[in-house]
Amino acid sequence: MISTRQLAYRYADGPALQFEDIDVAQGGVLLLCGASGSGKSTWLALAAGLLGPGAGDMTVAGQSLQALGKVAGDAWRAKTIGFLPQKLHLSAALTVHDNLAMAQWAARQAQDEQRIAEALTALGVQDLARRKPAQLSGGQAQRVALARAVLLRPQVILADEPTASLDDAAAQAAVKLLQATARHQGATLVMATHDARVADCLDSQMGFQFLYIGSNQR
Ligand code: ADP
Ligand code: MG
């Protein structure tokens, strides 16, 4: 489902990053671990096709990212990737409901009220549909952002530092929710984190893989 071979990326005015090879099966869970600045967010951006392809090979959901152009990449990402960014990027001017409707519109989908209600209900935030993001707690805002990320039933869910700035209880809830949501959808889940609590929060009944990043930076 996700595999990389000799994946590397160099920012124009930044470090050259190298990533160890990894293979993640459909429905698998991958924890990207490493210190701050090691390249976790870069790996996620590559997997989402948000950064131009690096060196080496990266295949996500059967698509070689090296072969994907910018325009084709936007359509591919909309239907394949659910991204939960570190900064949630909910539109402050829009209600929770309209944030999700906007995501359908941005993906050139017809507005689907039933699916919006379903996604909000799945994340337990259906009663917050008419609120604006400023009227949500941090945990609620994250649930709304996750509802938006899975709205189009992506095959891959990418979450960047999903426990940052959450207390222990909320961090555990966030990780369990991500895992349950991915399992429910049959999606592959990648979580990037420098938070040692995340591994402890994962349901140990389910297998997961680690990829340590940062030991081979030059
Ligand atoms: P992490 O998510 O593990 O904290 P990042 O992937 O954000 O790490 O960053 C990896 C490295 O690349 C860091 O040294 C960071 O400073 C650098 N970097 C990130 N974005 C850019 C950019 N746009 N231009 C130049 N360097 C960058
Ligand atoms: Mg990061």
pLDDT digit string, tens, across residues 1-33: 999 999 999 999 989 999 999 999 999 999 999
Whether the per-residue pLDDT at 34 is higher than 70: the answer is yes
- If one residue of 13, 19, 38 were mutated to test the ligand 1 pocket, choosing by the most ligand atoms within 8 A of its CB, it would be 38
Domain 2-90+154-212 CATH (choose: 1.10.3720.10, 2.60.40.420, 3.40.50.300, 3.40.50.10310): 3.40.50.300
Angle between helices 96-106 and 138-149 (to 10 degrees): 30
Q: pLDDT tens across 52-63, in order?
A: 888 999 999 999
Q: Between β-strands 188-193 and 156-160, what pairing exists: parallel, antiparallel or unpaired? A: parallel
Q: Whose CA is nearest to atom 17 of ligand 1?
A: 14
Expressed in angstroms and rounded, the spacing between residue 17 Cα and the centre of ligand 1 is: 9
Please tell me what DSSP assigns to residue 190.
E
pLDDT of residue 215: 61
Average confidence (pLDDT) over 86-93? 95
Phi, psi of 32 (to 5 degrees): -95, 115
Which residues make beta-bridge pairs with 86?
none
The stretch 152-172 carries a mean pLDDT of 92
Give residue 201's pLDDT: 83
What is the per-residue pLDDT for 68? Answer: 86
Which residues fall within 8 angstroms of residue 20, CB to CB, at 6 or more apart?
211, 212, 213, 216
Predicted TM-score (pTM) of the model is: 0.94
Whether the CB-CB separation of 85 and 160 falls below 8 Å is answered with yes
